[in-house]
A and B are shown apart, each in its own frame.
Chain A
Amino acid sequence: MYTEKVMDHFTNPRNVGEIENPDGVGEVGNAKCGDIMRIYLDVEGDIIKDVKFKTFGCGAAVATSSMVTEMVKGKTLAEAMVISNAAVAEALGGLPPAKMHCSNLAADALHAAIVNYREKQEKKE
């Protein structure tokens, strides 16, 4: 039911963990629906220097989280903001239809982290 690429990211997820004193953190989902994704950002200038994730959820939830971190590392915040959930799923070679809605939230978590970073920056200024 999952593509090889999804299974690869589920088995060997990239960038799992936390960043101490992150520049931005974003979390989406809830335990009730069975998926929680949290993304940590380390930003330098306008570039995502490091990104980590923690996810509670199914295979698709873990794989999309891993994939999105791989997609945005080294990218600018503006570039990261335009990555969609659909693009993450596509990069994984697609997801089963039932997973497109419930477990495909990794880009949302990323965007939430960027918004959190920008809010923090505004406070500093």
Chain B
Amino acid sequence: MRRVYLDHSATTPVDLEVAALMMTYYTEKYGNPSSVHSFGREAKQALEEARKQVAELIGANPSEVTFTSGGTEADNLAILGTAEAQRKKGKHIITSCIEHHAVLETCEYLEKNGFDLTVIPADEEGILSVEDVRKAIRPDTILISVMHANNEVGSIQPVAEIGKLAKEHGITFHVDAVQSLGKIPIDVNEMNVDLLTVSSHKIYGPKGVGALYIRKGVRVVPLVHGGGQEKKRRSGTENTPGIIGFGKACQLAGQRMAEDAEHHTKLRDKLINGILQSIDHVKVNGPMGDKRLPNNVNVSIRFVEGESLLLSLDMLGISASSGSACTSGSLDPSHVLLAMGLVHEIAHGSLRFTLGRQNTEEEIDYLLVQLPKIVERLRMMSPLYDQVMHAKQAQ
């Protein structure tokens, strides 16, 4: 059966060049970077090359990059590590209602353990207000943590302005850039970022690798203690093949960013316009144009439920995701869509398509032929659609 993958914000395939390079470090250059012998040295050298490649993509100095097991660990290290380092200075943390669970749950964990948390709202497009952050700042605020771009609706946040505000108040500023890395330019200095989370598997690198940028002079207490790797910030033998793959993926992402963005934007706009033209009672979630990640499409299709849509698409080989309760693992639909003011019923009917390098216009055409048929079938089954249908019949 034909398969069309449109879930690149969940994960991406590993680039073949990246995979080939990694294989060398599994089977031939398998040394432990901490070893003094030649095997160790060649691994160490490649590790440091990867650090440079990651640093270059975010405008950082290589010495400011700490490798982790992924985005979630980097978020935990940033938030818990800052809280621990500055708990004598203050116990107030600011974050937003549209953050990834890796940030929200970590902040909520701290709240249960004696910290104060302010969660700022988002507007109906899923964008945060700098003014809301300003109002939330207190003398005892030690950390502001917001995402660069939202994983569900692709909304790009005013991080540079929030960073400026944090800097003026001497507050540590953390940005989760997992979704924006490689998609839009990142410069930790222009954005006034102190801590920045990035992940490998969203940019055609392997899973299980990420990094935390830690600005020189910013103190973060480690979560993992042991052999003192990563300048004691993250002990444990480095995942050398994974890190080297991540480095290579960053290099490729940097080289291809403009080309990728153009390709994604073209497909994104074709898909959004195509859905709006072929299906009625549809709402686009998130901003349009430049404030949206080039590869994100998120729509709510009224009177039908997200998991039913996903199952139906999957039977035709099309892979997408949804913010419905059934796919969130709880009884509530996506916290991001609810925070944007969507009512439950409409949030349950959301569909996310996230584009990648290998997607083609022809694949979008295939989706645009299939999706209206699926929606029609599910709507005919839906008691919520009765009124609309009866009104149509009356005409």
Contact = CB atoms under 8 A, between A and B. Distances in A.
A41 to B, nearest CB: 15
A98 interface: yes
A34 B311 contact: no
Nearest to B325: A34
Contact of A33 (B304, B331, B384): B331
Contact of B305 (A7, A54, A61): A61
A3 to B, nearest CB: 13
A37 B315 CA distance: 23
Contacts of A58: 305-308, 324, 326
B123 to A, nearest CB: 23
B311 A10 contact: yes
A30 B16 CA distance: 47
A27 interface: yes
Interface string A7-32: 10011010010000000000100011
A9 to B, nearest CB: 12
A11 B303 CA distance: 18
Contact of A55 (B324, B333, B383): B383
Nearest to A66: B381
B329 interface: yes
B326 A27 contact: no
A34 B383 contact: no
Given A33-B325, A34-B305, A55 B344 contact: no
Given A33-B344, A102-B331, A54 B381 contact: yes
Interface in B254-287: none
Q: Main SS of chain A's interface residues?
A: mixed
Q: Main SS of chain B's interface residues?
A: helix
Nearest to A31: B345
B202 interface: no
Contacts of A55: 381-383
Contacts of A61: 305, 308
B386 to A, nearest CB: 7
Contacts of B385: 56
A34 B384 contact: no
A25 to B, nearest CB: 10
A37 B383 CA distance: 8
Interface string A40-62: 00000000000000111111011
A57 B305 contact: yes
Given A56-B305, A58-B326, A34 B380 contact: no
A38 B305 contact: no
A61 B325 CA distance: 13
A34 B334 CA distance: 12
Given A13-B381, A58-B324, A102-B331, A32 B345 contact: yes
A98 B304 CA distance: 20
B249 to A, nearest CB: 30
Contacts of A64: none
B344 A31 contact: yes
Nearest to B326: A58
A56 B344 contact: no
A27 B325 contact: no
A85 B311 CA distance: 22
B234 interface: no
Contact of B326 (A16, A34, A38): A34
A56 B346 CA distance: 12
B291 to A, nearest CB: 29
A56 B384 contact: yes
Given A11-B315, A31-B344, A98-B329, A36 B384 contact: yes
B174 interface: no
A30 to B, nearest CB: 9
Quick one: which of B306, B344, B380, B383 has the most chain A CB within 10 A?
B383
Contacts of B324: 34, 58
Given A32-B344, A33-B344, A58-B307, A27 B383 contact: yes
23 contacts: A2-B311, A13-B381, A16-B380, A31-B348, A31-B384, A32-B344, A33-B331, A34-B324, A34-B326, A34-B333, A34-B344, A34-B348, A54-B383, A55-B382, A56-B303, A56-B385, A58-B307, A58-B324, A59-B307, A61-B305, A62-B381, A102-B326, A103-B326
Given A34-B326, A34-B348, 16 more contacts: A33-B325, A35-B305, A54-B381, A55-B381, A55-B382, A56-B381, A56-B385, A58-B305, A58-B308, A58-B326, A59-B307, A61-B305, A98-B329, A99-B326, A102-B326, A102-B331
